Structure 1
Amino acid sequence: MGRIVGIDYGRKRIGLAVTDPLKIIATPLTTLNPAEFESFMKKYMDSETVDCFVIGYPRELDNSPSESVKDLTPFLTRLKRVFPEIPVHKVDERFTSVIAQKAIIEGGVKKEARKEKGLVDKVSATLILQSYLENSSVKNRLR
């Protein structure tokens, strides 16, 4: 049984999260520089099966694609070209960074630890992935 990888893409950093093998819970994995993503995923997939990627898709309040989609599109194209056998699902990522920052503070993370630049990115990836899991679970129960 494979895992699902959640991706919070940014020009400077990519936050990653993964599911447990039963695809119930999302947990933060790491934060990397975009240039490291491909080699990291290939190495990760040497030991883990990945069933699909779930990537945060930036939208405006009116549901139209946000300006930052222009940065995401080349990454999505490359992701599909490098890993053609793995489906990619887009999930609305509105407010995930704000929610992640709030969760980090409310979770009691010390101020010094909150300075880690990649923390918000991997927590955002976790929120994106958990949202996908919850929505998929509801859809499956309604069938």
Structure 2
Amino acid sequence: MRIMSLDVGSVTIGVAVSDLFGWTAQGLETIRHTTREADFKRLRQLTDQYQVEEFVIGLPLNMDGTRGIRVERTEAFAEELAKAFPDIPYHFWDERLTTVMAQKQLIAADVSRKKRKKVIDKMAAVAILEGYLQHLSLKNRG
């Protein structure tokens, strides 16, 4: 079963997908927002290509765990996603510090600032999915 994670921002959507066994996460791309219709068209292409059965959407809670405007926007996106993809369930996953983790990994790999900007959301989606997959693994162990 493949799971797709989404790091939904105001300008882009970072996209990652699991392998068939749900062990690893691979970054796919960063979708630049144009229209919701275009966003969902591209997501449909990816979900069909990778036979995605579940979405995990990063929930951008504040560092103290409170909800802000970004959470409201993400929840609104999720509601639209559910209408566009009624066949694919979604779950939220706390995304605090995923962008920071992705940034540190890219800096450690000596990726230039210009290139980091292009891939940071995709890498954050990978971090979201890795956290979720680890949670599922621990849950399945018992």
Asked if TM exceeds 0.5, the reply is: yes
Map of 1:22 onto structure 2: 21
Mapped partners of 2:85, 2:19: distance in 1: 21
Q: Which amino acid aligns with 2:19?
A: D
Shift of 1:122: 0.2
**C-alpha displacement at 1:38, in angstroms?**
0.5
TM-score by length of 1: 0.89
Cα gap change, 1:43/1:63 in structure 2, threshold over 3 Å: closer, same or farther?
same
Matched, 1:69 2:71: yes
- Please give the root-mean-square deviation of Cα atoms over the aligned residues, in Å: 1.5
How big is the shift at 1:70?
A: 2.4
Q: How does 1:45-124 map to 2 (within 5 A)?
A: 45-114=47-116, 117-124=117-124
Partner SS, residue 68 of structure 1: helix
**What letter matches 1:6 in structure 2?**
S
Structure 1: gaps of 5 or more residues? none
Report Cα offsets for 1:69-122 as digits up to 9, x if no partner: 1221221111010111211010001111111111111123245533xx331100
1:140 matched to 2:140: yes
Deviations 1:3-35 (A, max 9, x none): 110100011000000111111100110001233
Distance 2:90 2:24 in 1: 19
Which residue does 1:8 correspond to in 2? Answer: 7
Tell me the TM-score normalised to structure 2 length.
Answer: 0.90
**Counterpart-to-counterpart distance in 2, 1:45 and 1:87:** 12
Q: Is contact 1:13-1:118 (8 Å) kept?
A: no
| More displaced stretch, 128-137 vs 47-56 | 47-56
CA distance in 2, matches of 1:97, 1:47: 26
Please tell me whether the aligned partners of residues 53 and 89 of structure 1 are also in contact (alpha carbons under 8 angstroms).
Answer: yes
Q: Give unmatched runs, 5+ long, in structure 2.
A: none
Q: Tell me how far 1:47 sits from its aligned partner.
A: 2.8
Give the length in aligned residue pairs. 139
Identity, in percent, stands at: 37
